[in-house]
């Protein structure tokens, strides 16, 4: 990781000091520091003392949403963007340095060519155009339950992956974005609670992410669709084609008038966990992969999620009131026993600009992991928890 960081810094400096005079270069960065208190009740699924005692702790962390970036463009409408994430990666509050505590990771590495005012081609590693909006929840990336932008509790993040994308612009009113995304791998957080027991991945067609942003005055809408088919070898006895299809439909929007703004998003689909992305660590996210029925036919996991963010700006202060939910229905793999789980979040995040480049964000959020409901076997309480604290953000 240190070698990667050194190479990345060298690349950014090379771009900054060796480009032609006609090129435009920008280098910048953001440092995030989380300072928070977390309290989990004794039933919470993330509590290391679950079923015995409640759990509470205080943490001061530099999560790897901290970043350094460089952007370059030339006179032929060609450009590139490189961004490295720095700081603490995966793991929980008690993770040691061997658990990726301090690292450098590639967040973005892509280039583009604006062929004409109506068409752009992009290639590289970046976010996909699908489900582009996120709530203003930023505290607790390394809490042990991946509390960032509300994933697992209402938000679905389609991820940053290698892709080739075409963007068609229709004046100032609409765009059509189509990305062919690397289809290999599965959900990046949470694992698979009831994974589909397949032994091979024969995916030929790339994942397809489509978005059609619409800009209607103060109203911006973001309808989109994600599709991927994974060819697999299922256990002997399956009576269906050995394919697992992931699809998700999304509709997001935001509206602003004066100091008031509202944004939100709704996602619905099947087998989210069988494609790459960040759906979170909550139980609905963990059980969002396809399972097998008792006759070895594929059972599609059905998932929906939504979130709403209401904000009002008072000078340098802009509080956001955040609500969200996520729900998944599935079957215990190898049986016809139905299972369902629903999670929820609500709270407030308050970014405050104290000086140019210096922002603090007090935030308090409540997370409810709900119950794991199993047909004829009763419900299992997965508990609740609270994260409260402040995030420091320094930008240059």
- Residue 153 in 3-state DSSP? coil
Per-residue pLDDT, 103: 74
Residues sharing a CB contact under 8 Å with residue 315, sequence separation 6 or more, in sequence order: none
If one counts every other C-beta atom within 10 angstroms of the C-beta of residue 253, the result is 17
| Least confident residue range of 93-107, 149-163, 264-278, 354-368 | 93-107
Residue 38 half-sphere exposure toward CB, CA atoms < 13 A: 28
Per-residue pLDDT, 38: 97
| Least confident residue range of 17-31, 99-113, 205-219, 342-356 | 17-31
Give the chain's end-to-end CA distance (angstroms, integer).
24
Pairing of strands 103-116, 66-73: unpaired
Instruction: Give the pair of three-digit tokens for residue 299.
Output: 């059972």
Higher pLDDT, 153 or 2: 153
Task: Give the containing element (helix H, strand E) for 78.
Answer: strand 78-87
For residues 226-254, average pLDDT: 81
Higher pLDDT, 279 or 216: 216
Per-residue pLDDT, 177: 98
C-alpha–C-alpha distance, residues 270 and 177, integer Å: 22
Residues shown for the chain: 396
**In which band, very low, low, confident or very high, does the pLDDT at 98 lie, cut at 50, 70 and 90?**
very low
On average, the pLDDT of the chain sits at: 88
Instruction: Give the pair of three-digit tokens for residue 95.
Output: 């993770």
- Residue 98 in 3-state DSSP? helix
C-alpha–C-alpha distance, residues 53 and 40, integer Å: 9
Per-residue pLDDT, 294: 81
124: region left, alpha or beta (phi > 0 left; psi from -120 to 50 alpha): left
The tens digit of pLDDT for each residue in 108-146 reads 999 999 999 999 999 999 999 999 999 999 999 999 999
For residues 86-105, average pLDDT: 67
User: Is the pLDDT score of 82 beyond 50?
Assistant: yes
Instruction: Give the pair of three-digit tokens for residue 61.
Output: 């962390």
If one counts every other C-beta atom within 10 angstroms of the C-beta of residue 250, the result is 24
Q: What phi, psi does 379 have (nearest 5°)?
A: -115, 145
The tens digit of pLDDT for each residue in 325-367 reads 999 999 988 888 999 999 999 999 999 999 999 999 999 999 9
User: Is the pLDDT score of 278 beyond 60?
Assistant: yes
Instruction: Give the pair of three-digit tokens for residue 104.
Output: 């450098």
Contacts 24+ apart (CB under 8 A), 224-229: 224/129, 224/130, 224/131, 224/132, 224/249, 224/250, 224/251, 224/252, 225/130, 225/249, 225/250, 226/128, 226/130, 226/131, 226/158, 226/250, 226/269, 226/275, 228/183, 228/203, 228/274, 228/275, 229/203, 229/205
User: What is the DSSP code (8-state) at residue 185?
Assistant: S
For residues 28-56, average pLDDT: 94
| Least confident residue range of 54-63, 177-186, 191-200 | 191-200
User: What is the DSSP code (8-state) at residue 232?
Assistant: B
Task: Give strand ranges (E) for 171-301.
Answer: 174-181, 207-211, 214-216, 219-231, 243-257, 260-270, 291-292, 298-299
C-alpha–C-alpha distance, residues 259 and 344, integer Å: 27
For residues 298-309, average pLDDT: 95
């Amino acid at each position: 990781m240190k070698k990667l960081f050194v190479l990345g810094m060298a690349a950014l400096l090379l771009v900054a000091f060796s480009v032609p005079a006609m090129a435009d270069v920008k280098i910048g960065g953001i440092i995030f520091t989380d300072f928070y208190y977390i309290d989990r009740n004794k039933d919470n699924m993330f509590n290391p003392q679950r079923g015995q005692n409640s759990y509470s702790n205080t943490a001061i962390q530099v999560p790897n949403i901290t970043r350094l970036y460089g952007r370059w463009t030339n006179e032929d409408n060609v450009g590139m963007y490189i961004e490295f994430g720095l700081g603490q990666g995966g793991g929980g509050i008690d993770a040691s340095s061997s658990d990726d505590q301090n690292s450098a990771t590639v967040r973005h590495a892509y280039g583009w060519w604006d062929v004409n005012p109506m068409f752009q081609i992009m290639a590289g590693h970046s976010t996909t155009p699908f489900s582009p909006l996120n709530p203003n929840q930023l505290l607790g990336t390394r809490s042990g339950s991946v509390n960032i932008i509300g994933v697992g509790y209402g938000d679905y993040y389609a991820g940053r992956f290698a892709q080739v994308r075409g963007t068609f612009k229709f004046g100032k009113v609409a765009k059509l974005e189509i990305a062919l995304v690397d289809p290999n791998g599965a959900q990046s957080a949470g694992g698979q609670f009831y994974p589909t027991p397949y032994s091979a991945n024969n995916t030929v067609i790339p994942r397809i992410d489509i978005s059609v942003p619409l800009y209607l005055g103060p109203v911006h809408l973001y309808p989109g669709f994600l599709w991927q088919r994974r060819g697999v070898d299922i256990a002997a006895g399956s009576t269906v084609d050995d394919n697992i299809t992931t699809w998700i439909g999304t509709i997001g929007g935001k509206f602003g008038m004066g100091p008031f703004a509202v944004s939100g998003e709704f996602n619905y689909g099947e087998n989210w966990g069988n494609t790459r992305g960040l759906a979170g660590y909550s139980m609905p996210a963990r059980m969002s992969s396809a399972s097998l029925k008792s006759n070895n036919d594929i059972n599609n996991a059905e998932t929906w999620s939504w979130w709403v963010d209401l904000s009002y700006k008072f000078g340098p202060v802009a509080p956001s009131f955040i609500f969200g939910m996520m729900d998944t229905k599935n079957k215990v793999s190898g049986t016809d026993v139905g299972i369902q789980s629903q999670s929820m979040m609500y709270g407030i995040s308050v970014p405050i600009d104290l000086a140019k480049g210096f922002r603090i964000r007090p935030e308090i959020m409540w997370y409810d992991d709900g119950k794991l409901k199993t047909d004829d076997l009763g419900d299992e309480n997965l508990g609740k928890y609270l994260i409260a604290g402040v995030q420091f953000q320094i930008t240059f």
